[in-house]
Structure 1
């Protein structure tokens, strides 16, 4: 029964539970805790499926009464676990390789086409009238890219807020957060997953960068820049300033974005989701399996 329960928990955390959570708005009130919450769901789904596969393998070895339907069910669970783990490691490698290649191309292009700013070595200014603002993250070779249209459209305060927004992305390595979500997202086959965690994480890192910018330059500057850059395109592998405008604007209208109750709820749910399956199912089953093997 343990393999089946762990498998059902994993599938529930991969598809219906996050799909239902995406219909609520309260995690967006606390983007940092919300990211932890979404990551806990995705990671717990992978761990539960993995635990189900391990439990299935041991069950097939230790169980005496192997009826055909039980063997078929457990082999299906085992196969799903192997598939998820295979996809997980392949996704980790492919996401890393694809992201690094895209960012190398972007850095090369902006260094070639953009003008460097002597006061900000990582800043590149493109001679483009369309308002653009994005960053290309990297450990020691990050770039912040703006267009001439952005500089001419925004006020001094709004422009400074945009630069702080992009610096927050680079400084806090929001790209790693999104890459982790992408890997966990790709680990499950399309029919067993939802896009909600990946989409929500993309919104939440923008909210976190907005919070950094509003602390330095005020709500009005951030809001003005957001209006001017709403819908601005962002190259693949980069993080931009124009996405999720409606959600971000709604947050900017709140004078104090902190919400301790929502933060506590998100962290508490994260702990329960990660710990409960292990404590209630995996550990008792492992003890029972160990005793069985000793016999």
Structure 2
């Protein structure tokens, strides 16, 4: 089977069916760092396969002489498709990034107007217990409500604040933004929302793990239950999302080292396959010359 066809089919599989299948692998969340690498490898491999399919077809037609007029037409069409794919990715990245940054900047400005600052935390006069962070390149905010301070113990509050600080340190907002960009860039009939939803769970699990390294696991669990039902505003990262999945992972204290290694190997294999399909034909052509 020609390499461009294989790459095109691989791009479709990596954009839709594979993320759908991985999202059904619930125990994958028990090794969140390895799982995140797998999801990122899958996303990168999908982009590489989509771009590589057009480039491969173009070079196949133009690489070996004699080159007929039909070969030039096919190569031109393949190159055009590649440009369209790249343009959709760039346009999606631009629109998503601009919209999120504008929304977060406006939210930070509103918080600064109505909240009081205590120990680097913005406190809102609100009856619902909420806790979230507003990420940004500069001027990030951690926001809690007066009700949160009243309902949480010192240990619970410390766990929640460390959870939010972990989001900001690791720039989980950029991870989520990348998957939002890819979901928006791929055609609706191909793209799967499974990757974006599962990565949203994983960034929360990773922040939970960071909070548990410096605080009590039981305190974090208790705080999550208190904050349940109070979603964070759009564009922010909160402490109350994906509660059921996170509680399940927090209660599992086993290391799962074997699974982590297998997932990392799978991530490497997923990324290596389209890379090899793109690079090897070019190397073979160079050797033939």
Query: Counterpart in 2 of 1:200?
Result: 198
Q: 1:274 to 1:115 in 2, by over 3 A?
A: same
How has the CA–CA distance of structure 1 residues 66 and 18 changed in structure 2, closer, same or farther, with 3 Å as cutoff? farther
Could you tell me how far apart the structure 2 residues matched to 1:227 and 1:186 are? 33
Matches within 5 A, 1:63-142: 80-117=81-118, 120-121=119-120, 123-142=121-140
Matched with 1:260 is 257
> Residue 79 and residue 9 in structure 1: after superposition, are their counterparts in 2 closer, same or farther (change >3 A)?
farther
* Contact 1:3–1:74 (Cα < 8 Å) also in 2: no
TM-score by length of 2: 0.91
In the alignment, what sits opposite 1:7? 8
SS of the residue corresponding to residue 258 of structure 2 reads helix
Cα distance per residue 1:83-104 (max 9 Å; x no partner): 3211111122122211211111
Structure 1, residues 7-59: CA drift from partner, whole Å, max 9, x if none?
Answer: 11111111111111111112211111111100100110110111111011223
* Cα gap change, 1:139 to 1:249, in 2 (>3 Å): same
Unmatched tracts of structure 1, length 5 or more: none
Match of 2:224 in 1: 226
Are the equivalent residues in 2 in contact too, given 1:85–1:187 (CA < 8 A)?
A: no
| 1:140-159 → structure 2 map (5 Å cutoff) | 140-159=138-157
Inter-partner Cα distance in structure 2 for 1:76 and 1:194? 27
Q: Please say if residues 56 and 75 of structure 1, whose CA atoms lie closer than 8 Å, have aligned partners that are also in contact.
A: no
TM-score for the superposition, normalised by structure 1? 0.89
Aligned length: 287
Deviations 1:58-101 (A, max 9, x none): 23435769899x99998886565333211111122122211211
Separation of aligned partners in 1, 2:135 and 2:214: 21
8 Å CA contact 2:61, 2:74 repeated in 1: no
Distance 1:81 1:234 in 2: 38
Deviations 1:100-130 (A, max 9, x none): 111111110111011111xx22x10000001
Structure 2 vs 1, CA of residues 72 and 109 (structure 1 numbering), >3 Å: closer, same or farther? same
SS in 1 for 2:24: coil
1:35-74 → structure 2 map (5 Å cutoff)? 35-62=36-63
Quick one: distance in 2 between partners of 1:79 and 1:146? Answer: 50
Q: Specify which of 258, 281, 288 is matched with residue 285 of structure 1.
A: 281
How large is the RMSD of aligned CA atoms in angstroms?
A: 2.3
Asked whether the 8 Å contact 2:163–2:211 carries over to 1, the reply is yes
CA contact (8 A) 2:130 2:145 kept: yes
Q: Matched residues in 2 for 1:74 and 1:11: separation? A: 21
Unaligned 5+ segments in structure 2 are none
